Structure formats: structure tokens, C-alpha cells
Amino acid sequence: MSDRAATEKKFHGLLKEYREDILPSIYSNWESLIETEQDSYSSMNNFYCGLHCLVNMAETAQKMLLTVEKEELENAGISASAETSKFVSTGESGAVRMIITTTKCLSRG
């Protein structure tokens, strides 16, 4: 597994070339294999991590939830700062605090 950085892509290209170069000397009957078998042996799957994308989406969703929550509290005539000051982390929306608390309660260890 790797990220999508240009250096990783270059590395995968070099690794593919290396595999194609070295496979004939590793398999004694390489020349007798049909082309589809050779392609199958020389192919390699690369799995790319999507964690950065998920983290960025979560941060953006958190900001939007907090903004909407503050607007709703103000529309209801409740001071958003007074409501959120009861909590340790005032930069989190109520929805995010609930998700974090629930996952902590349900997690092992």
C-alpha cells in the first residue's frame, strides 16, 4: 500500500520494469509460457491509501457542522458561546462530540 505521490508512482514504474527484467532469469521455463501467463506473472497490484482524503473530508464536515449548529442556536435565541463553553473542546460541534463519545464507549480497551 502506498500513497499517490509522484515518487511512489515513479517507484512503481521502476519496480515493474525490474520485475519484467528479472522474471526470465528466475523462471527456468519463462520462454515456454504463453504471453498471458507472462503478463500475469509480471503484473503487480498497487493499493493506494485514501486516508488523507477521508481526514480532509472529516475536518471540512466538522467545520460545517459547527457553523450550522451555531447558526441554529443563534436562531433559537441561545448564545452559541454559552452553550459550547460547558464542554472542554469548544471547537467541536455537538454531533462530532456525540460521535466521539459513542465510539469511545463502544471501543475495546
In a domain, 87, yes or no: yes
In a domain, 1, yes or no: no
Residue 78 reports pLDDT greater than 60: yes
Same domain, 86 and 56: yes
d(CA 12, CA 47): 11
User: Which secondary-structure segment (H or E) carries 21?
Assistant: helix 6-26
Residue 80 reports pLDDT greater than 80: no
Residue 13 pLDDT:
87
- Expressed as residue numbers, the domain containing 73 is 51-106
Same domain, 95 and 61: yes
Same domain, 60 and 79: yes
**Domain total of the chain:** 2
Tell me: the pLDDT tens digits for 2-60? 666 777 888 888 998 999 899 999 888 899 999 999 888 888 887 777 787 888 898 99
